Amino acid sequence: PLNINITYHQSEVEYRRLPGGLLEKRIIRKRPGTIGIAAAIMNKYQVMVVPHLICGGFTREETEDALIDLHFLGIRNILALRGDPQKGEKYFIPEEGGHAHTVTLVEQIINMNRGIYLDENLKNAIPTDFCVGVAGYPEKHFEAPNMETDLRHLKAKIDAGAEYVVTQMFFDNRKYFDFVERCHKAGINVPIIPGIKPVNTLRDIELLPRAFHIDLPEELVHEVQKCKTNQEAKEVGIEFCIAQSKELVRAGVPAIHYYTIGISDNIRKIASAVF
């Protein structure tokens, strides 16, 4: 692959009842973390990595520390995201002293590229050289009241210094083509990389629209509904994704971002058939 993205999720908060009725708050962090996995992949396989850096769960100081680590590890590409709400929460709540929106996270990264750190008195501040990507939503971010507002937010991230866009997954290429056209009209002229994902299970036609706020084409839903097993649904998903990928390649997209979500054997088959 051209690169491998490594996701990041907020630490989980767990409350445990102690003897006497008091509640103990515990922060559960995943190990190994995104930075460690990214460095391991890059060094072992010499493949470019794109770790995700999110607003949620980080203060600005912790964000700077993570960026310093990434810089010294030789990792130069970052996908900057706000991140999802904390598990169990309906709305995103920023960390105290952290970023509430991706645009200010991008600004912090670009400032470090200019040698501007949080401590203005820092001596020997070394400029970083990160290339920053951000997310775009062909079917609109579910929190945005309309596409025009969503595109203004995306334009602000590009104006802040982001150099490319990776889209949320979609299953109808027309939605991507229309999105690119609307981006260009809004003055967004950076590469827009389509993100797609094959259906893997029978339940995906219910779970994916609910989790990612996207539509599935009727022909795909119909074919999956005819399947009796998850393996049959997986094969339908592979064939649909191959056709979708080939159309995108013919259209001259800059690259294709495949969402694996923990399952990669189908992506291998798709990539072999397309590239």
Question: What's the pLDDT tens digit per position in 33-53?
Answer: 899 999 999 999 999 999 999
- Spell out a b/e string for 74-110, using b for 16 or more CB atoms within 10 Å of the CB, else e: ebebbbbbbbeebeeeeebebbeebbeebbbbbbbbb
| pLDDT mean across residues, the chain | 93
Check pLDDT > 80 for residue 202: yes
> Residue 31 has what pLDDT?
58
Residue ranges of the domains in the chain? 3-195
> Residue 164 has what pLDDT?
98
Residues in contact with 46: Cβ distance below 8 Å, sequence separation at least 6, in sequence order: none
Angle 198-137-248 (CA atoms, 0-180°, nearest 5)?
50
Residue 271 to residues 175, 200, 219, 239, 253, Cα–Cα distance (Å): 22, 16, 22, 11, 15
Band the pLDDT of 87: cuts 50, 70, 90: confident
- Residue 124, SS3? coil
Band the pLDDT of 8: cuts 50, 70, 90: confident
What is the CATH T-level fold of the domain 3-195, as seen in this structure? TIM Barrel (3.20.20)
CA end-to-end span of the chain: 10
Band the pLDDT of 86: cuts 50, 70, 90: confident
Q: Which residue has the higher pLDDT, 121 or 189?
A: 189
Residue 104 CA neighbour count, 13 Å, CB half: 12
Provide mean pLDDT across the span 169-198: 98
Check pLDDT > 90 for residue 138: yes
Band the pLDDT of 57: cuts 50, 70, 90: confident
Provide mean pLDDT across the span 98-108: 97
- Residue 242, SS3? helix
Check pLDDT > 70 for residue 11: no
Give the whole-angstrom CA distance, residue 179 versus residue 197: 18
Provide mean pLDDT across the span 57-83: 95
> Residue 89 has what pLDDT?
73
> Residue 24 has what pLDDT?
75
